[in-house]
Amino acid sequence: MRILGISAHYHDSAAALLVDGVPVAAVQEERLSRRKNDAAFPLAAIEWCLERGGLEPDELDAVVFYEKPMLKFDRILTTLLRAFPHSCRAFAQAMKNTVGEKIWVKGIIASRLGVPARKILFTQHHQAHAAAAFFTAPTRQAAILTADGVGEWATLTVGRGQRPADGPCRLELLREVRFPHSLGMLYSTFTAYLGFPVNEGEYKVMGLASYGKPVYAAEVRRLVPRTADGAFSLALEYFEFHTTARRSYSSRFLELFGPARDPLDPIDLDTAEGRRFADVAASVQLVLEELLIDLARALRRELDLPDLCLGGGVALNGCANARLLAESGFERLFVPPAPGDAGCALGAALVADRLHFGNPDRQLPDHPFWGPEVATADLARLADEDGLACHQVEEGALVDEVVEALASGAVVGWMEGAGELGPRALGHRSLLAAPHDAQMRDRLNLRIKRREEFRPFAPAVPAELADRYFQLPPGGVRLGRFMSGVFPVRPEWRPRLQAVTHVDGTARVQTVDATMAPRFHALLHAYGRRSGIPVLLNTSFNLAGEPIVSRAVEGYSTFRRSDMDLLVVGNALVRKARARTVERREAAE
Ligand SMILES: [Fe+2]
């Protein structure tokens, strides 16, 4: 059976193709269109998935959209009418945004793909999140918790999934919290207040939180009072996201926390104002963690299952995930590589396959590499056009050469195989560097990633050696598989891991599994033999404001436009002659 899943129209559109219950291809539209967080209907992603599967649209058994547009429209309309006339301007904007292609999804799919309407299915948004988390995890039954900004009405759900070896799969969402009460919206409101772009800047809030103290935790708790059933609500007088598109927090919010940060002002942590923003970030982070832990503990008691699958954009919060693993009572915590809306394309296809059509369960490959492949020949051609030498190197020699470059301070673009689904580069579209000195972090932040200095870089370590360098709780290696948890760096290693140790002594570690990414795993071991520490700095291969590179042409273009020294595509390698000049210039300075 051939099922195409689609997520679109909010942020991070994506498509995924499932053939006989197993993913064949999945990719975010941004990786092909080159527009970051592209929310358009993902025609390029769909086309690529079909091409990869060798299918024409009429060979599909079903096309599944990741949410119910009419239900979402109902939520938007109801919310705006409740706030009318205050919502007058937002109303006009929302109508413009919603009425039109977003609501007539069935028509778009039918007309653009030529698929008959009877083959077009819809899942609920959080059902797609839950399926993406549960059906991809190596567990037969688990509790499920999903949390994001909002889908149709639900913003958080708890439930249970079962994949028996000899019977039909089940996925039950037992309860939900409904819009406007939303942990995702709570965090996004603080993201906006702190001057970062919503849906993108949430990482920055988490990074900034490490510099602060949660001195405003009591104030944040006033914003999210607990409800009698153990869940939470938002005290709506502090918010405006549900009534206006202008801003998400109210004047009363500002009375509690002080003036919002102007996005154009840099955050100076040496000033009282800068520290106030860090303290506010630390406070919302703490309260989010408290809420999630309480919800998860209650679910653990209720369902008495040892495993928890976590989905939705909130599951990208690695600090909260680590605390959930350590404190919720669950023995194992599974977070998929794409817990956000992009992963819903795959989730929606899985809902259709396992639940709608009742197809038998299949154990899915436990990796995120479902995107377009890189071609070594493309790099050779591009380099040749530029007059740069492109060396095709035998595997062992390639690893040796890259290790030598890394050990001497080079920044290496590392591309191999199929690209990652989800926001994290996990060794197929990565920028790699030595993790030892703080100067490397500053160089990457200033010259390549061009981002705020308070944002940390992640380390990658062979899974079997992770515990030596990082304090991982039981289950931590699994959580680190897709870089989903933030854990302390062991104090004795912090001086040698400065570029990947955050100000609070933690790191968002990737525990690299030999079967999932064998070349990257081998590279880490080889680097360990050379430097004494098998850890590399691993950050996504992209420049600020651009999506992660997908094909060799984007990798090469990024290599040429930034302060990188070496580019590896498969077994081909290009070196920038400029690297030595830069070093000499630095030495002279
Ligand atoms: Fe979502």
Q: Which fold has domain 2-136+340-362?
A: Nucleotidyltransferase; domain 5 (3.30.420)
Alpha helices in 122-213 (DSSP H): 125-134, 183-193, 202-209
Q: How far is the CA of 78 from the centre of ligand 1 (A)?
A: 20
pTM of the model: 0.93
Contact (CB, 8 A) for 300 and 328: yes
Q: Quick one: pLDDT band at residue 585, thresholds 50, 70, 90? A: very low
Residue 506 has pLDDT above 80, yes or no: yes
150 Cα to the center of ligand 1, angstroms: 6
Residues 12, 30 contacting (CB under 8 angstroms):
yes
Coil/strand/helix, residue 78: helix
pLDDT of residue 228: 87
Q: What is the distance in A from the centroid of ligand 1 to the CA of 356?
A: 21
Q: Give me the residue spans of the domains in the chain.
A: 2-136+340-362, 183-333, 371-585
Measure 226 CA to ligand 1 centroid, in angstroms: 23
Q: What is the pLDDT of residue 96?
A: 59
Averaged pLDDT score across all residues of the chain? 92
Q: Where are the alpha helices (DSSP H) in 7-164?
A: 29-33, 43-53, 69-83, 88-98, 105-113, 125-134
pLDDT category, 583, cuts 50, 70, 90? very low
Which residue matches tokens 């995107």?
371
In the structure, ligand 1 is a single-atom ion and the residues with CB under 5 Å from it are 148, 341
- Residue appearing with tokens 């949660």: 214
CA of 149 to the centre of ligand 1 (A): 6
Q: How confident is the model at residue 589 (pLDDT cuts 50, 70, 90)?
A: very low
pLDDT at 101 over 60: no
Ligand 1 midpoint to CA 334 (Å): 17
Give me the mean pLDDT over the 401-421 stretch. Answer: 97
* Angle CA 11–479–355, to nearest 5: 60
pLDDT band (50, 70, 90) for residue 90: low
> What integer pLDDT is reported at residue 555 of this predicted model?
97
Cα of 297 vs centre of ligand 1, distance in Å, is: 23
pLDDT at 362 > cutoff 80: yes
Region 371-585: CATH code:
3.90.870.20
Report whether pLDDT(340) > 50. Answer: yes
Over the stretch 436-479, which tens digit does the pLDDT of each residue have? 999 999 899 888 887 776 677 999 999 999 999 999 999 999 99
- pLDDT for 584 equals 45
121 pLDDT band (50/70/90 cuts)? very high
135 secondary structure, DSSP code:
T
Tell me how far the alpha carbon of residue 253 lies from the centroid of ligand 1, in angstroms: 25
Q: Do domains 2-136+340-362 and 183-333 have the same CATH topology?
A: yes
How far does the centroid of ligand 1 lie from the alpha carbon of residue 520, in Å? 31
Of residues 487 and 98, more confidently modeled: 487
**Over the stretch 32-48, which tens digit does the pLDDT of each residue have?**
999 999 999 999 999 99
Convert 290-318 into a string of H (helix), E (strand) and C (coil). Answer: HHHHHHHHHHHHHHCCCEEEEECHHHHCH
The residue-averaged pLDDT of 194-204 equals 90
- CATH level 3 topology of 183-333: Nucleotidyltransferase; domain 5 (3.30.420)
Check residues 464 and 265 and name the one with the higher pLDDT: 464
C-alpha to C-alpha distance for 246 and 408, rounded to whole angstroms: 50
CA of 23 to the centre of ligand 1 (A): 20
Confidence of residue 139 (pLDDT cuts 50, 70, 90): very high
> Percent of the chain scored above 90 by pLDDT?
80
Confidence band for 579, pLDDT divided at 50, 70 and 90: very low
